[in-house]
Amino acid sequence: MSGINEQPPPVSPERPLVLAANRLPIRRTEDGWATSPGGLVRALLPIVQESKGSWVGWTGEADSSSEMIHVDGIDLHPISISDRELERYYEGFANDTLWPLYHDAIRDSGYRSEDWDAYVDVNRRFADRLAEISPPGANVWIHDYHLQLVPMFLRERRQDVRIGWFNHIPFPPLELFQRLPWRAEIIRGLLGADVLGFQRARGARNFVAAAHQLAGATEVADDLVHLDDHTVQVGHFPISIDVDEFELLASGRATRQRVSQIRTRLGDPEVILLGVDRLDYTKGIGSRLRAFGQLLDDGRLDAERHVLVQIATPTRERVELYQEERREIEQIIGEINGRHARLGFPAIHYLYRMLPVEDLIPLYRAGDIMLVTPFRDGMNLVAKEYVAAHVDGDGVLVLSEFTGAADELSDALLVNPHDEQALQDAIVQAVEMHRHERRPRMEAMRTAVADANVGDWARSFLDALAGA
């Protein structure tokens, strides 16, 4: 199908949808491939199924077969990626170059030409597969920072398809983005799309500024950018969660029983503070733990009355920075527990593992205070999950102002996680907050989350793409 240049057919609900992301929505089980858990997959799979569409991505296994896989009524097209390419494209350029740069340069980025070359090669391979398998006039929706060159490569091959790209992480301001040696190439790669979506309005503005400065694009309207006879819609589409699913699970009898068991196993403390994060240096876990430890040291909190549960989900375990982050976090926890634990009752309960949603929701319900304090985050769905799970209408959310969720959950206790004293004071304020203040705040946040779930997010983006 490569080289098709005919005009796209009229917009209709029947336009097939082809998705592309670094990972396919599957995991290997003893019985073969199965759909991966997760709200995003559950939101997008029905849309792909209804449109008789398909999904392109990597299986998660090096040098895997590129033979099509059929799961849950959709065709999955694997992209084979070698172990060397994983080291260069994924661990190198995507996560050692782009990830820290796009998160306020919290860590220094590596800028290696061999990583960039691998990134180009893998992006071109994705585009080639999309060009081969996309039906005429399809909507192609590309996801995230791993695939920023795919829109341009695909447009070179297929003029008939509509191309959308959505960034799940922040897009940095021009001053940071300019550090990237291949900055103009990334911008031109993205400008191959018809619609570019970002989590926050400031991310969209950052891109428009970079497109103007680095590629000579002109802004022809508030949300339209023009370059080389092609106009691109640039907007923000804040992602959300499957609210109905979370509320249903959180309301069940089994969950209520688990909540009671959790509190008993923790020693029936007066207040349970909770953190749930991927173990990533952008999440501010260490700062949060140090703040809690200092409050115990100063006597503002009491380890017999206030306990912290920290869940850290493993991620990118082969990367040295993440290994160092794990060692630092576990050292901080050990030191705090050494000073404040009682026999059988640590001050901080720590789990380094991935928990299924069925185990997370009782923890959310048990958590009197949720600590979501990343240094920078595109959205942070944990904040929304906590709110949705609190069907009792109680609980306090301490939320970093540098998350996309802060735009919608303004009734959380917003905090600057870089300010140690402010973080400590916010935790104390949450602990001491009276029920008459907690409940109206939670009610307002629950309304905000319920008014825009993950299905609404997907439809709003696809509507924009259909009208491009």
* Residue pLDDT, tens place only, 88-117: 999 999 999 999 999 999 999 999 999 999
Q: What is the predicted pLDDT for the residue at 47?
A: 83
- Residue whose token pair is 């003893």: 30
Query: Looking at 66-215, which runs of residues are DSSP E strands?
Result: 69-71, 74-78, 139-143, 162-166, 195-198
Query: What CA–CA distance (Å, rounded) separates 120 from 128?
Result: 12
CB atoms near residue 391 (< 10 Å):
16
- What is the reported pLDDT for 7? 38
User: So what's the pLDDT on residue 32?
Assistant: 85
Instruction: Write out the two tokens for 68.
Output: 């099509």
416 phi, psi to nearest 5 deg: -90, 110
Which residues 6+ apart lie within 8 Å of 34 measured at CB? Answer: 26, 27, 28, 71
Q: How does strand 224-227 pair with strand 230-236? A: antiparallel
pLDDT confidence of residue 31: 82
Q: What's the confidence (pLDDT) of residue 5?
A: 38
The pLDDT score that the predictor gives to residue 13 is 46
* Residue 59 tokens, joined: 């299986």
Backbone angles phi, psi at 267, to 5 degrees: 90, 20
Under 8 Å between Cβ of 174 and 131: no
d(CA 97, CA 110): 5
Q: How far is CA 319 from CA 325, 326, 412, in A?
A: 10, 11, 34
User: pLDDT tens track of the chain, all 468 residues?
Assistant: 333 333 333 334 468 899 999 999 988 888 888 888 766 787 788 888 888 889 999 998 988 889 999 988 889 999 999 999 999 999 999 999 999 999 999 999 999 999 999 999 999 999 999 999 999 999 999 999 999 999 999 999 999 999 999 999 999 999 999 999 999 999 999 999 999 999 999 999 999 999 999 999 999 888 999 999 999 999 999 999 999 999 999 999 999 999 999 999 999 999 999 999 999 999 999 999 999 999 999 999 999 999 999 999 999 888 888 999 999 999 999 999 999 999 999 999 999 999 999 999 999 999 999 999 999 999 999 999 999 999 999 999 999 999 999 999 999 999 999 999 999 999 999 999 999 999 999 999 999 999 999 989 999 999 999 988
d(CA 428, CA 46): 44
- Reported residue count of the chain is 468
Question: In sequence order, what are the residues at sequence separation of 6 or more whose Cβ sits closer than 8 angstroms to the Cβ of residue 95?
Answer: 316, 319
Among left, alpha and beta (phi > 0; psi -120 to 50; other), residue 63 is left
- List, in order of start, the domains of the chain with CATH numbers: 17-240+455-466 (3.40.50.2000), 243-451 (3.40.50.2000)
Cα gap 223→236, rounded to integer Å? 9
Cα of 178 vs its chain's centroid, Å: 24
The residues near 217 (Cβ < 8 Å, ≥ 6 apart) are 187, 191, 208, 211, 225, 226, 227
In the block, residue with structure tokens 């300019």: 178
How far apart (Å, rounded) are the C-alpha atoms in residues 98 and 106?
11
User: How far is residue 8's CA from residue 162's CA, in Å, rounded to a whole number?
Assistant: 8
- Structure tokens that stand for 164 in this block: 């959308």
pLDDT of residue 51: 80
- Cα of first residue to Cα of last residue in the chain, in angstroms, is 22
pLDDT single digits (tens) 248-297: 999 999 999 999 999 999 999 999 999 999 999 999 999 999 999 999 99
Helix (H) or strand (E) holding 276: strand 271-278
Strand order in the sheet with 139-143: 69-71, 74-78, 54-58, 17-23, 139-143, 162-166, 195-198, 230-236, 224-227, 218-221
CA dihedral 405, 410, 412, 415 (to 10 degrees): 80
Query: Residue 225 burial (CB < 10 Å; 0-12/13-18/19+)?
Result: buried
Tokens of 126: 């994705």
